[in-house]
Structure 1
């Protein structure tokens, strides 16, 4: 959970790699890029890229447009701010001399109620910085075009902040759009595939009539084929991939895709906005009593309303962790609070004392620091945290004490056969898992703040001594996480087994609901290795909703990851070696630049580098152990409670257990009361 970081971090970031966790924050990168970043992190075949953030848009527009008149032309003609230009130039060097696709990514784009489909700009075949900067400005300008203003007005939407997504252009042999529910009839059992030869823009722009296919129950039926672009097998692969995306997001999807070199790529995924309502379900009003204070939607972590079971455990645990972290580090805020309001999760910064007040003038703030006991106490705590290096000690404690103990507890709970437990023992197991989540969220928040402080120290050191930006600085650390590389290496072994077996390779090329069953039946060695991987790495929640399946419950996603590694000829050892060489080269360059500088400056760099090496791997590592695994264990526990409640005819379906709070489910199993 990185909510604390996003709220407390003040550094302006203009360009973000799509593969980083920061690229999942809609407010920074827009909805299109955030969705693709989530999919990329989950192992879907999304072309990697960069995102020019909404902060860059705001800086450029605020300088270029002082009055609304001729805003479109002013955005196009004015040069980028120098800080944005520097960040974009540096980021573009990673692409080399390849054509790029530059696409708008609005914060209000690709939403369930307003897709903005076809409203914003896309620029293809872009080469070099000058053309990329022009394309970025063109995308930004489209946010203030007349047609966009009309679109917003009719839907009562405010002005949209705009990010821009830049990716290598896919030289497509075929491309198109796929709907995971029939957008005309609303039939969720049908997947509709539209496809043309070449680039998908020929389809979305209406230049040509596409081939039309409908997939139902594993059978593909061609309705028309003016392009004759794909065969049945390829269409089934497109539909299968689309269904995996739907399962990931938990709602029917409108997806743009491309086929190049025999590999499928995802270019966009958004909720279907025109889906017919087959059952004419009536909306249920949700009573809302807005609390006092300033609250923001927590959509980066909670893009959908939480089920009661998740909410009842996760939000109190997170709030407890936030409060402890703010107190331990002496932050000048009481806490960060998360709360459900009208079904959605909102969050706010709680001022010291717990009451919202108007901002104070600077002179009065300085005076109150000396007068108010609560402020004086926090400043003492902050000073003590810095003096004793609380952040550094917390990182060391994770490596030496917290992580080993947490792994031991998690493993014991994971390996418990829940079906063999009596009702009383299952109840105690549920209590234990709930307590573990509360404890692990305290660890999570403390580690978040600790690693943020150590990485900020490293970034500021490199800025002050070397003049390097964040991208250059963190390139000295990329690839240090064992927790992310270990499952990747294990997956590479599975991929190698498939490469060496023509039978497995042929079965994987189809990748539908029957593929895994066929593969494990065909090869006992693959069967053993696949389920060992699931046991070791599959006990992890993919999102912050325990009603959603874990990684081990979505084997088709693992098969897609294997297929992706094979198609890319991925070699984890070569990749790790390349990253290690890049890190070593940059560190050597930094030391060379500092070789003639005073010893104090060289020592400052070495200390910051050592501490960053200790902290950086935790960015991904601790979230796996203190959040993803505990939430997966909570899901497994809830499902077993649900199974028994169904068996006793207390609820209708196993998944109905997620509509209960955990304590409600426990008590129901104990009392036998019906909940239907």
Structure 2
């Protein structure tokens, strides 16, 4: 097998042979772009040298060290040695070269591995090249590279390393260029960093470079750097680092553009331009030339690129590397032409991870039912409403009309304040964007939609019932659930095709039924606001009225789980691992009381789970590890009688009574009739506030039941030889499942591709709240820095100091009593942790988001909407949260 290939022999389809970096350089060369000549020592050479190295046999801290030692000490095969010497000589006599690592797991669309392996610059002489190649091989096993692969789920044994040997550019100016803004995400907005000397100074962060931002040929920004460090080649090989004279204070320029006389044309077709002396190290002609070249590279690869470049002493511009920018969030599928504003429904639901393909279809069906209530239904219900789209396995809603509407600019910020407060500042900034002018000034479309919705859910009669007949209102809410249970029951002899039809029909019709409860809930909160107005007590000082409200299915679930822990036998929960507890439960070998009581609990609440809005996600009834782990944690706790959640809940009831009496006293001071109305209103508020969680409780019950039905369909497809596992069905759409039932047997590869894509997206740590169709994340343009404290949204009053516990996934998480839970967001699957938390900090949400509401009911201080809380706070730090002020202080 060939062990050396010239760049001209390489294309993008060869990463297994030449690694990601070399494959990209080959593509650039074959496309006629200016790349310094070079060749690559293929992964076959690494394979020969690495024989005897068994990564699977190595573990722990010895893994990297043993692998490096092996590669540095193993003899280089004679054929490989000869290939290196001969290929190097072909470049010229003792020509200076850059020797770069090019791993097979490198410059991938989801992980760049930038800087994880080593590069050696200005290497001169054949034997020096051989030594540099050996050090590149060993750098595949640096501690940082091993950790990076593990973090990205890449098997060590699957990775090999090729080595690029490339003629050095005697760079007078060099740097990096992003063809999309890496901070804001805006596509086609090039960001160029430049500094004198080799680009290593910029890449390594050793220098503050000049920075230029270019969009469609216009230079939007120029920021001078101090350029105090210069890295340059040394005669005979290697590099040296020099400090340059202080150029004096740097001032960003907002002046007419600088131009320079072009030099004669260069061999690669680009005009050499003399590097300016003093001030900026690039003139405007060269900046535009760089940006245009970057766009050519992006268009060739079909994705935004991170490019390294250099300009030699003759003014010739060279590309030394290109890789995809892996941090950008993928653009949503466009809903309409022009600049669009998209809001993440995943963020709104507290689910940061992607949805499975069947979960996405479920979202479209349910939201389509909601849109029809407003008169915006789609022709084909599987398509979902026209204003919804997807990207990165997540759902997005197009808010452009609201941003450009007088009604939207008035109503939407108030709605966002309740559920996703951090987005309000973003929305307000967008309303000032000249590209999104006000175009919808009439309130009639919004009023027509609101009227259709009110009529569709019988809002007037529900409100009247809530005001006059509270028992009937509660009975109606229960009856909605009973009717849903009836619709979810299927005959035993139903066919797979009929199950599919039932699932599609039920999901499309679920929302109108369950949302008919919301006028009752809104009546309660409306009376709460009225009580505030009549009494003169601000709403934010009445939050104790909402402590420990009844009829909340999530609260009832959490308290029942705690009571369950007090009733079951402690053994084996105190000594066995969670996997062993799961095995014992499934084999019905837990102690009798525990076995029976857990079964009863899961019969009532087993349809719930983390990320439960996704039909593709297993429920607690399928995978009880989370619930069994929570029970084990409860049994290990020494909470004390006063700290037991049931006692805390009962105390919350008393606090609510006292708060109600206080509000009534203020109202009485303004008139006896006011006190009577306030008493009436707050009673209704407490009666109905807990019902807020009921529509989602019912929706998740429907999703769970349909999941079980479709898993039966999946099992049928396994028997038919179409799928390998019944759970593979969640990686298909309804149409694809129907096609499979009709005999399509070619779906295995599609399932495999989607599973890989889902797992990759599951590792994404950052999901924008709002995203523009040009890739811009508007939140990056809104200042959020506050000295001395992290600032969020007040969610549940109270001040608490405690030890932080950062939790990214509730499954298997353990919270000691009084620890402060710090997490990205929550849905009901998280709430068992709330019972022992001393406080709550969330990156997402607003005052009426799920986590905020439950925190208030449990009486724990909470601050939500804290930017990057899970990164800026670490487990074990002592923090103080002020739930009334919305601040988090780190000791």
Using the size of structure 1 for normalisation, the TM-score is 0.48
Q: Which has the higher contact order (CA 8 A, sep 6+)?
A: 1
Rg larger in 1 or in 2? Answer: 2
* Structure (1/2) with the larger helix percentage: 1
